[in-house]
Amino acid sequence: MPKNSPKLTWCNIRFGEDSNWWVKEISDTIHWDADGLSIVDPRQMGHILDQLDPLREYGLNTDLVDNAFIPFQIKEKNKDGSVKVVRVNETFSESDEVLFGLPDVVDEEKGPYADFIDHITKLRVKFLNDNIEFEQKLTVEELEEHVRENQNQSFMEGKALHVFTEVCDILEFVPEGYELADDEDAKKSKVSDDEESENVEFVPDVPGIEEDEKIEEDDTMKWDEEEEEEEEEEEKARPDDSAYDLNAFNDDGSDDDEDDDDKPAKKKGAAKPEKAAKPAPAKKAAPVPKKAAPAPKSAAPAKKKK
């Protein structure tokens, strides 16, 4: 089987715009096609296992779950931003490791993943018939038709179907117009929008993939803000052209260009009379004796009479 093939040892995966992980490159190119191949991240896998819990009493086969997904673990971040995951010998139901799950879809009709989908579909129908009073019993064909409609809608929109979406369409299916009873098992089978968003948007802690980028971005933004604040303070402190006009300042060095409420007080103050008194130094009074100089000329005729 392809799952036991030694050629399948690693995958390079990328985080898509839809907040899901997709296979970019795979070691076994003979049996696997990376185009449109999705992989379940650890939080999504945890969500799937939680959704499977109510089906245990209806005959859930955990071996089918472990066989349907091939476990991978994070190894390193690649230079192009993708993440390399390597295959490990673990089981999702018993391991405490952070594991990605690659669906075994080499044989889409009879492979382990196909068997898993068929198994949980039948169990979900049993669960719904046992917890909801239908006028007519729900059939497997009705659930499968619902899943096909969602898949066709994705294809028409040009979207690749992610394995997590396909599994959740089955495990969270409730016929339109019906609701599950508020028992513990029913609550486990329903997920709030916030919880689903957290599961889908999972980004693993890879050395160098998140922490360094976030710290660098925060520091840069902080430096930019500090530089902008310093520039604003300098612009406020920098005098404009009127600052170089001596008449724009009072004798005490204060600027006349202040709030309009302060201007009337300055007009009535003592600052302006002091400015008017400046032009009265003794140098300007010097021309007075020069005007009195003609007096000796008037005395010249008195000497002629003698």
Confidence of residue 58 (pLDDT cuts 50, 70, 90): very high
From CA 228, how far away is CA 205, in angstroms rounded? 33
Could you tell me which of 111, 113, 85 has the C-alpha nearest to residue 99?
85
Could you tell me which of 63, 20, 61 has the C-alpha nearest to residue 168?
20
Q: Of 13-22, 77-86, 255-264, which range is least confident?
A: 255-264
Helix, strand, coil % in the chain, rounded to nearest 5: 50, 10, 40
Q: Is pTM beyond 0.75 here? A: no
* Strand order, beta sheet including 38-39: 38-39, 21-26, 10-15, 83-87, 69-77, 100-103
* pLDDT of 125: 96
From CA 172, how far away is CA 186, in angstroms rounded? 10
Residue 244: CA count within 13 A, CB half-sphere:
3
At 55, list the tokens.
Answer: 């089906």
Confidence of residue 265 (pLDDT cuts 50, 70, 90): very low
pLDDT digits (tens, 9 = 90+) for 97-133: 889 999 999 887 889 999 999 999 999 999 999 999 9
Q: Is residue 186 predicted with pLDDT exceeding 50?
A: no
pLDDT digits (tens, 9 = 90+) for 133-164: 998 999 999 999 999 998 888 888 888 899 99
Mean pLDDT of the chain: 74
* pLDDT of 224: 55
| Amino acid, res. 237 | A
List CB contacts of 274: < 8 A, sequence separation 6 or more: 251
Could you tell me which of 178, 105, 117 has the C-alpha nearest to residue 148?
117
How many angstroms separate the most distant Cα atoms in the chain?
Answer: 159
At 160, list the tokens.
Answer: 């690749």
For 35, list phi and psi in degrees, rounded to 5.
-70, 115
By the 8 A CB rule, do 40 and 69 touch? yes
By the 8 A CB rule, do 274 and 251 touch? yes
Which 8-state DSSP code applies to residue 50?
A: H
